Each structure stands twice: as structure tokens, then as C-alpha cells.
Amino acid sequence: MKKFILSLFATLLVSTALWAQNQQPAQVDTKVKFAKESIDFGKTELNKPVSVDFEFTNISKEPVLIEAARASCGCTTPKWTTEPILPGKKGKVTANYNASSLGQQSKTIWVKFRGVDQDKELHLTGTVGNPSSK
């Protein structure tokens, strides 16, 4: 009887541990790997739009899907791969920046993947100058 109770207790303990492990939210870095998380677009002219691609690879064993992406301001518009990205395949988030203010620029894009609680943060930097100051 003692062996049965100990066996039952051990099974319950292992089952609880496995259940708790499955309840942990997935981390974005266990699902995708970005080639670059920060891109400097360099120098551009005032009112000259800039577009950069943040490419990533699905490193998990299941398809991943971007649910949404948002930018730190209205001057940056993110677009992204809308279909599920299969394991080993690539996807991208494109940041379109409207260079409408002078000086050093720093923008953030947050990407929300399905099944992941924390957004992935991407950074876009560069300098905007007057057309005559090449």
C-alpha cells in the first residue's frame, strides 16, 4: 500500500510540474530569430520616405503568426507577413518612415506574435537633413 501511495504521489508531482511548465507564456525569442533588431537607415533628406525590412526566421517547431505591429509614432507605418510562417521559413516586418522632421531619429516598432504575451521590440534610427545639406 505504501508503494502505491508513493507511486501515486510521484505521478501527481510530475504531472503538476509538466502542467505548470505548459502554462508558462512562450517567449518570442524561442519562436523567431530576427536577423537585426535595430537598423540604422543612415542619412536621408527631409520629406523623403525611408523603408527598411526586419527579417526573421521561425526557429520553433510550429507555424508562427504576427497578429499585429505598432509604431511609436504616426510617422512610422509597419507592415508584416500576414500568413503563418512555417518552421524554418522567413517572414518580415517592413517599417515605412516618413522623414518629416529634421535631426537624429529613433523609432520603435512592437510586434505581437500569436501565443506570445510579450511583444518583440524593433528599433529604427537615422538622421534627417535638409535636401541642400548632403
37-75 residue pLDDT tens: 999 999 999 999 999 999 999 999 999 999 999 999 999
10 lies in a domain? no
- pTM for this predicted structure: 0.77
* Domain coverage including residue 78: 29-129
Instruction: State the DSSP code for 74.
Output: T
Domain count of the chain? Answer: 1
- Domain membership of residue 3 (yes or no) is no
| Per-residue pLDDT tens digits for 11-26 | 555 555 454 445 555 6
* Any domain includes 97: yes
Position 5 in a domain: no
Instruction: Name the average pLDDT for the chain.
Output: 86
Report the half-sphere exposure of 79 (CA within 13 A, side-chain side).
6
- Residue 57's contacts (CB-CB under 8 Å, 6 or more residues apart) are 32, 33, 35, 88, 89, 90
Q: What CATH code is carried by the domain that includes residue 117?
A: 2.60.40.10
- Report which of residues 30 and 79 the model is more confident about: 79
